[in-house]
Structure 1
Amino acid sequence: MFDILQKLQERIWIPHQVAYEIHKNRLTVISDQSVAYKEIQTILDKNLAIGTLKDELFKNYKRHPFIDVKQIIEDIEGIINKVKDDLQATKQAHPDFLENDELWKQLIAIIDGKVSQAYSKDKLKEIYKNSEQRFKDLIPPGYKDDDRKKGDDKYGDVVLWLQLIDYAKSQKKPIIFVTDDDKEDWWLKHGGKTISPRPELVQEMLTEAGVRFYMYPSHRFLEEAQKFLTLPEQPEVIEEAREIREQKKYIDYLSAYSSAIENSLINSEMTEAIANMTKLQDRLINLDINQFS
């Protein structure tokens, strides 16, 4: 990934709001990543207790001529224990990014001198005031943060967006914005699929700056950058970027499994939850801890 960023270094530009949020949140993110192991362990212990399921299976299906209840229980216990063991192994291998973060040093070297100037306090106050009307009118981006974030933090996406527009005005060149923020106030979605940047964003950029606006999630940007730079394909890099976006789904699978146990749903729902837990196990085994820096 850093090879691609270095080759594109002269084209990279970072809105001040992005740099501000990175510095503001970095230490918290690092700490949260360390705490996550304990939190996931608690979720597993709380929601994946096998006792209730075992009692229900033996009570209702012990004498079934073709269903090996004991084997089912052993398989489920094996998956749960494997997930816990792999989680513990990953925790032990997790580097201390507070002590030494080489990836952070590389990133700083690449973006040095590429960050825009901060807006003045008066300018920010004006933006905050105008943002309230944008939120009421559901003008993207930012309105999805109105209830999610507190204080002035909820205006961050609007500040970022206006900095992008200002930069586009000065450069008179199309803008490619790379973000893994997948909220609907950035992306047009239909039928569960992400289609494109919100048309309002494309139109506002064209109206205000006179240039085209493109937006990619990180894994798609890396795919296109490899083609543009005629670099050797690095599917593992693309997969790692995609992995970061998808990890939350596997935590959701644990909730589905827990729900199936609580409702004694020994059916296709349970089967799907168990299958998804197996995927989670595979993800933990192959997890690249460096992606969390």
Structure 2
Amino acid sequence: MKDAIREYLELKDEEKEELWKNAVFVFDTNVFLNLYRYSKKTRDILLGAMEQLRDRIWMPNHVAHEFMENRVEVIFETIDRYERLHEETNSFIQVCTDMLRMKKEDSELLGLKNYIETWIDTNKRRDLLVTDVIDDPILDKILDLFDGKVGRGFDEEEIKKIINEGNDRYEKKIPPGYKDAAKKKGVLDNNAYGDLIVWKEIIHFSETEKKDMIYVTHDQKEDWWNIKRGKTVGPRIELRKEFTEKTKNKFHMYSMNNFISRFEGNKGVKIDQSIIDELQSIQFLINKKNYDNLKNKYLEELNEIGIEERKIVRLNERIKRLEKSNRKRRNSIIGLEKKYEMQEMPDDIKTLIENTKNNLIKGEEKIEKCQQRLNMLETKESGQLTFW
């Protein structure tokens, strides 16, 4: 029976350990770009992990090109971050001057300004490793680590075939990459099939080299991960099935949090919570930037369609927001109940859980009402909208 349903079976701990010791590691583009964004502590851990695994790392050709195309922009972005902090300091000091009716030359204000700017400069010297696109030790390290370990990529004809296949896959929501379908039009038409191209490269490498593969990604979208009730179970079942059928090898994935936690845990070191917080914070900023780009495109398209169609689009988005809120409520309840399963639960926690459960019920009721309205509107419409 196992062979018939193998893609549904999550790897056991001993299987994960075996893969960690023998598989080839592949990192997505944002893992490399975020080396410029990370603090020194996080960056050193990740580069240390790559160094330790240097005999078993490989980079898809598409990732190499994505990295080089976006690297300079990210360098400027990180430099600008510290410049903005200095600007915000001046604004804050001005607010203090105005609201507290103090003089600009007041010794306390000058001392506060000096303290904040010194703190910013200290962090900048420690964490901002690259300030010049030519003198780039991060790039030098990556070039050294991945020397001779970058895929050949696909030629123009092969890319055309992947794009044609991608159109069909995206329509059917076959992972990976269908969440990037909105990039196919307008200014975002630069990497709609990037994830699919990378996936095809990974499969080709595994099939050719007869290697098990581990993919480490910052991407948290549902077209890579099997997400149930807000909880990430593992890689998408379709990905494991496709990979196994085409390569006869094993495939696993790690988020950046889990990858670094596993790497540090193998050294007998408990990962610093501040590192986890930083990884999550940076991923949030990346997701927000992507969301803002898609939102602008969404608003442009929304202005081009009719009133009834707009209502359908907005209802779909409201349902998604409500479902997201309810996933967070479920996770909160599960986390609190698990935390106190071996000890007496304080009354305030009991009250918090009870209130969260009530809000969960109300959220489900709102979703049901929105779904009913949506069904009524879609019955009236003859066409099928495919935004997002």
CA RMSD of aligned residues (A): 3.7
Change (3 A) 1:193 1:123: same
Question: How far off is 1:235 after superposition?
Answer: 2.7
One-letter identity of the residue aligned with 1:146: A
The partner residue of 2:153 within 110, 118, 137 is 118
Question: How far off is 1:41 after superposition?
Answer: 7.8
One-letter identity of the residue aligned with 1:218: M
Q: Which residue of 2 aligns with 1:139?
A: 174
One-letter identity of the residue aligned with 2:247: A
Matches within 5 A, 1:72-111: 90=123, 94-95=128-129, 96-111=131-146
The partner residue of 1:129 within 138, 142, 164 is 164
| C-alpha distance in structure 2 between counterparts of 1:181 and 1:250, whole Å | 12
Matches within 5 A, 1:168-247: 168-226=206-264, 231=267, 233=269, 235-236=271-272, 240=275, 243-247=278-282
The answer to whether residue 60 in structure 2 is matched with residue 15 in structure 1 is yes
Identity value in percent: 28
One-letter identity of the residue aligned with 1:4: A
Structure 2 runs not aligned, ≥5 long:
1-44, 100-114, 288-388
> Structure 2 length as normaliser, TM-score?
0.49
Question: How far off is 1:211 after superposition?
Answer: 1.5
| C-alpha distance in structure 2 between counterparts of 1:179 and 1:248, whole Å | 11
Structure 1 runs not aligned, ≥5 long:
55-81, 253-293
8 Å CA contact retained: 1:206, 1:212: yes
8 Å CA contact retained: 1:219, 1:239: no
Change (3 A) 1:86 1:112: same
Matches within 5 A, 1:46-57: none
Change (3 A) 1:92 1:6: closer
Change (3 A) 1:249 1:10: closer
8 Å CA contact retained: 2:257, 2:279: no
Change (3 A) 1:109 1:243: same
8 Å CA contact retained: 2:226, 2:233: yes
Change (3 A) 1:90 1:185: same
Partner of 1:207, secondary structure, is helix
One-letter identity of the residue aligned with 2:197: V
| C-alpha distance in structure 2 between counterparts of 1:43 and 1:191, whole Å | 40
| C-alpha distance in structure 1 between counterparts of 2:86 and 2:51, whole Å | 38
Structure with greater contact order relative to length (CA < 8 Å, sep ≥ 6): 1
8 Å CA contact retained: 1:128, 1:152: no
- The size of the alignment, in residue pairs, is 224
**1:179-233 C-alpha deviation (Å, 9 max, x unpaired):** 1111111112233332211111111101111122100012322333455xx5352
Partner of 1:128, secondary structure, is helix
| C-alpha distance in structure 1 between counterparts of 2:124 and 2:162, whole Å | 42
8 Å CA contact retained: 1:142, 1:155: yes
Change (3 A) 1:10 1:248: closer
| C-alpha distance in structure 1 between counterparts of 2:200 and 2:193, whole Å | 11
Change (3 A) 1:174 1:217: same
Q: Which residue of 1 aligns with 2:191?
A: 153
8 Å CA contact retained: 2:206, 2:213: yes
| C-alpha distance in structure 2 between counterparts of 1:120 and 1:251, whole Å | 30
